[in-house]
Amino acid sequence: MRITEQQPGVSKRYIDQTSVSKRMDGRKITNTVFKTLFFMATLVALLVLGILFYRILSQGLGFLSADFFQNFASRFPEKAGIKAALVGSLWLMAVVAPVSMFLGIGTAIYLEEYAKKNRVNDFIRMNISNLAGVPSVVFGLLGLTIFVRALALGNSILAAGFTMSLLILPVIIVAAQEAIRAVPQHVREASYGMGATKWQTITRVVLPSAIPGILTGSILALSRAIGETAPLIVIGVPVIIHFLPTGVMDTFTALPMQIYDWAKRPQADFQQVASAGIIVLMAFLLLMNSIAVLIRNKFQKRY
């Protein structure tokens, strides 16, 4: 685009319309190409997801019944149930949720509000972010070494809960850090100006403003924990039990382990039973994700 220099006494600029038209045509073509590519990528993802949902629902809906939720695992597909796995997953979340959220949110508060800005703390923050991408089987090996063998907790609910807490702890820390960091600095300064202490500012100003992001990240992290199988396999969680756990030191099984056992069996009927288990697990995940969305929309504040 060529713009002539304005001469003394001339109040208008003259633009080369031909050059502008050529540039706009190129930009429109580029925009159309990328828009089409992005639409096709979205369409492929939705198509695969639709096929997955159709296959799971068509195979598993026939096995969803009251007996499926009341029976224990069986070597006969028509008698197989998900009772022990369902109760075991609830026990597991009862351990994972308080442990991971207390440690994760506490760590985020310290790093964002108390820790000094230096190389050591920057190194810690960077490694916490890197841990969020470590494969889950590595955390399973860590849990096997520390909780199962060193602390002699065995393949109990407590050992599995601590292992899963380690798995999702980096995700919760990063989400809580981002939520706390998003609270404007002038809100803190206004609290200090009113005479509030550091702790009062954190508990009464920062955390209430950051709670939507913190809870959303925590619930999404718990959604990952309830669907993980590799750490449970590594620490030796059984796939079939015929009793319900009564405490955190009891042996248990979980939904992912039960689904894994059914899916690897050669009988065709067990593949359909596995699909029914996947439907139950997906219902849990959708429920938790919906709660996260509702919390974010209800408590979100704009500054």
pLDDT, residue 3, reads 46
pLDDT, residue 106, reads 93
The pLDDT tens digits for 131-189 are 888 889 999 999 999 999 999 998 899 999 999 999 999 999 999 999 999 888 888 88
The pLDDT tens digits for 227-286 are 889 999 999 888 888 889 988 999 999 999 999 888 888 888 888 899 999 999 988 888
The pLDDT tens digits for 4-35 are 445 554 444 556 677 767 777 778 888 889 99
CB-based burial label for 140 (10 Å; 0-12, 13-18, 19+): buried
Can you tell me the distance from the alpha carbon of 66 to that of 192, in angstroms, rounded to the nearest whole number?
58
The pLDDT tens digits for 179-193 are 999 888 888 889 888
Task: Please give the CATH architecture assigned to the domain spanning 68-298.
Answer: Orthogonal Bundle (1.10)
CB atoms within 10 A of CB 1: 11
pLDDT, residue 302, reads 52
Can you tell me the distance from the alpha carbon of 134 to that of 176, in angstroms, rounded to the nearest whole number?
19
Cβ within 8 Å of residue 289, ≥6 positions away: 219, 220, 223
Can you tell me the distance from the alpha carbon of 116 to that of 139, in angstroms, rounded to the nearest whole number?
29
- Please report, as a single letter, which amino acid is at residue 194: M
The domain limits of the chain are 68-298
pLDDT, residue 263, reads 87
